[in-house]
Structure 1
Amino acid sequence: MIYDYLIIGGGISGVSMARLLQLSGVESICLLEAGSEAGGLCRTRRIGPHVLDTGGGHFLCTKFPEVQNFIFRHLPRTEFNVFQRVSRIVIDGCEVDFPLESNLWQLPSSLCAEYLISVVQNGEARGLPPPDHFESWIRWKLGDLIAERYMLPYNRKIWGVPASEMDIDWLHKIPRIDVRRIVEACLNREFGREYMPSHAEFYYPASGGFQQVFDAIAKPVDKFVLTDCPVTTIERENPGGVLCVNGRFRARTIINTAPWPTLIRSPIFNEEARQAIGRLRHTQLVVSLHEDAYETDTHWLYEPDEQLPRHRSFFIHNFAPRSAANGIFRETNLQRWQAGQGEIHAEINPFAYPVPSRGWAASVMTVLNHLRPFGVHGLGRWGQWQYFNADVCIWEAMHLADELGHPQWRAGMQSQSSPILSV
């Protein structure tokens, strides 16, 4: 049998792609998942009375109306709670609301003055050209003090690489700093939520964890999924264009959502593509569950202090009220992880974040440009090697469906007068 489409990887990118193809009328699909169950980084576990998203923090907040509509057509809006985001940064012994630069007024007066002087002297405000070095760029954007006490240590913790090895081409989404508004916020001692740069509001499933979103999208395409099928090789079977995976599965088109390093031995790669894959870097993440009483209304906390192994803490009950009131999960780069710190469960994610190291974009394009003429496409966080959240993964799948000549998913969505599936 020759499938029209073979999808590698059963995370949110893979199942969304399968669902979009299905809504477009395609039925010749095979999705191969390496693990015993699909879900990828969107899996949730019930650990005693706690709900734990084992791939780290996931929340539904998107600027793409089509993505929101797609999700709500599978899991109705009524199955979600909606929250006004409360996230904070621990800095100089204080907890300050995100974004830090707009809430400096929450610091003691002397500290506030120090930070404010630093921010208003940033290179962007002075009209200086942006640097091409990560550390210099952060200083140019936010000033030296925020760079030294927050952004640089936090990024060292999350990525696990020196600033000198990181690129800046992924930083364009950081909005321009409005110095006047920052000064006004300090003078008025308030910051309007309407100026929150992104994700001021988010949805989270009313029961269970974020996997509820994944499961709702995945259920209609379950018949296409084969689990316990790790892919190790892709090759061209003949000059006619038929592709073969693991010497067993044949397809006309392959969509890969798995990390490229897991496929590096594939005969389909030339030496240039293999070398490009070898230059790609990623982080491994430990998500650990802890029990500790808390009264804060914070949803999650950024922790740049390099004396602490973790970089973020999530207060589960504050966004999953059916979970126990004392549950906290923490994200820690595996390089910094220290077991035996009171965790009641720890989950290691071998592939968590693609690192935007110098030259990453050129390396990814080398791989994708080599494969595209053969009918092999990369999709999602790993296929495109970018730190995409779940909503962007779905958005990219929509674009790829259109590119492959299957825009009918829109009509398939519109033909549904009610949500496709409720779980």
Structure 2
Amino acid sequence: MKKIVILGAGPTGLGAAYRLHEIGYKNWNIYEKNHYVGGLSASFRDKQGFTWDIGGHILFSNNDRFNRLVDDLLHNDVLTFKRESWIWLKDSFIQYPFQNNFHLHPDKELVFECISGLFDVLQRKGSYKNFEEWIYYFFGEGIARHFMVPYNNKVWACPLNRMDYNWIAERVSIIDIKRVLKNIISLRDDSEWGPNNTFRYPLFEGTGGLFNKFLPYTQDHLYLNKNAVRIATDRKEVIFEDGEKASYDVLISTIPLTELLGKIEDKPEWLGRSVEEFLWSGGYMVGIGIRKPCPSNKNWIYFPENNSPFYRITYLSNYSPNMTPTGEFFSFLAETSYSRFKTVSKETIVEETIQGLINSKLLKEEDRSLIVSTFLIDVPHSFPVPFVGRDTTIKNIQSFLSEQNIYSRGRFGGWKYEVGNMDHSVMQGMEVVNRIVFNKEETLYKI
């Protein structure tokens, strides 16, 4: 029986661990550098009694296996929601997605510019080479300028012309001209698009509440506070920061692919150079807890304008009554991206977030006195950018790794954003175990 070592106890590592336990496989261990499990899907409870996620996570999936797993782990401790997602633009709310609902914005000049741009799209010929060109090609000048370009700049914190477009699939609602015209004529609210128009959320402990449920299935195989610093592929050995070593026959890595390559000893020169091609963004997740009844039933709001640092705000307290202390409290979670292309001050981001909430009219100046908790989580790896040439680069790297019996999977381990949600990540872990043990083809992570 091969010795399987897993690096990282986030969704992918825990998915792999669950599957190994499920099939009765005995010879494996999982190592996590933090003192907790869950990775980017962990949650934290502060001293004031507020629970904070690492970003605006929700549970939704078209994968029946994942949905059954959530049912098995959470039983009845899960809540179901009809999505209430909005966009704040020019002092007005319109429902998401923008391209299906811009006609409802009170600024009629904005509406005209978006419609005019769509007529240009109908007559457009030629092609596109990157994400920025793709936006203008399919949405036209108006929608691109008012929402798609500024919003995506805030999210990715990366030049859009350095991004590929092949990742889009279900991530962006493509324009259906007939549908848009029908919406305009009938003044219809068209907010049903998307795989997450209905979603679930754990009743207790935030999204981390789901991943804590994996712990019984790790049994005596889980080791926390174990940071891998080197990987000797010739000896099939992982060396940890504390000096301990772990031998493996097969290694499943869920750490960022760039970091994994940096830890491999005696790697080919081209492999080291390939790291320079990767682009990604980090994020500051700022929680604001307020002693006041929640003034809104919205789930989350998108912010394309530059009068706030964040690209999205989540009313985290609307997901579960257990996200705040007992009493009349509510909480915001704000997400702001940063990268080597865009600097954001960690020292001032909390104050900038509060001011952004005021600028966006979600708080009043006098509400500052009602803020009873602020929480900041710095996430160095938030979005794996689908950079131009990504697929070829990843194919070459993964081919090399598989020859060394190393499988790099997960949101950053696989570096494929389009299959990097929580459900995708868990299933990547389960599927790579099926590949290793049963030689079964993976369906989600394809190279």
TM-score by length of 1: 0.88
The equivalent of 1:326 in structure 2 is 330
- Distance in 1 (alpha carbons) for counterparts of 2:410 and 2:126: 32
The equivalent of 1:68 in structure 2 is 67
- Structure 1 SS opposite 2:60: coil
Residue 385 of structure 1 pairs with residue 415 of structure 2:
yes
The equivalent of 2:150 in structure 1 is 153
- Structure 2 SS opposite 1:203: strand
Return the offset for 1:127.
Answer: 6.7
Task: Decide whether aligned partners of structure 1 residues 296 and 333 sit closer, same or farther in structure 2, where only a CA change above 3 A counts.
Answer: same
The equivalent of 1:309 in structure 2 is 309
Conservation of the 8 A alpha-carbon contact between 1:42 and 1:210: yes
Return the offset for 1:115.
Answer: 4.5
Aligned-partner residue type, residue 396 of structure 1: Q
Q: Give the aligned length.
A: 399
Residue 365 of structure 1 pairs with residue 395 of structure 2:
yes
- Distance in 1 (alpha carbons) for counterparts of 2:62 and 2:143: 27
Question: What does 1:29-178 correspond to in 2, within 5 Å?
Answer: 29-47=28-46, 48-53=48-53, 55-76=54-75, 78-108=76-106, 110-111=108-109, 113-118=111-116, 120-121=118-119, 123=121, 125-126=122-123, 128=125, 130-173=127-170, 174-178=172-176
Same amino acid, percent of matched pairs:
21
1:219 to 211, 216, 221: 216
Question: What does 1:225-240 correspond to in 2, within 5 Å?
Answer: 225-238=222-235
Return the offset for 1:407.
Answer: 8.3
Aligned-partner residue type, residue 100 of structure 2: S
Structure 1: where are the runs of 5+ without partners?
A: 409-423
Conservation of the 8 A alpha-carbon contact between 2:86 and 2:96: yes
Conservation of the 8 A alpha-carbon contact between 1:88 and 1:95: yes
Conservation of the 8 A alpha-carbon contact between 2:7 and 2:32: yes
Residue 298 of structure 1 pairs with residue 337 of structure 2:
no
Task: Decide whether aligned partners of structure 1 residues 136 and 91 sit closer, same or farther in structure 2, where only a CA change above 3 A counts.
Answer: same
Conservation of the 8 A alpha-carbon contact between 2:4 and 2:28: yes
- Structure 2 SS opposite 1:214: helix
Conservation of the 8 A alpha-carbon contact between 2:14 and 2:429: no
Task: Decide whether aligned partners of structure 1 residues 307 and 151 sit closer, same or farther in structure 2, where only a CA change above 3 A counts.
Answer: same
Aligned-partner residue type, residue 309 of structure 1: P
Return the offset for 1:200.
Answer: 0.6
Conservation of the 8 A alpha-carbon contact between 1:253 and 1:376: yes
The equivalent of 2:359 in structure 1 is none
- Distance in 1 (alpha carbons) for counterparts of 2:152 and 2:114: 22
- Structure 1 SS opposite 2:287: strand
Task: Decide whether aligned partners of structure 1 residues 201 and 403 sit closer, same or farther in structure 2, where only a CA change above 3 A counts.
Answer: same
Conservation of the 8 A alpha-carbon contact between 1:71 and 1:217: no
- Distance in 2 (alpha carbons) for counterparts of 1:222 and 1:283: 34
The equivalent of 1:244 in structure 2 is 237
TM-score by length of 2: 0.84
Return the offset for 1:65.
Answer: 1.0
Aligned-partner residue type, residue 288 of structure 1: V
Q: Deviations over 1:249-289 (max 9, x none)?
A: 11110011001232314115211111112321221111111
- Structure 1 SS opposite 2:13: helix
Aligned-partner residue type, residue 336 of structure 1: V
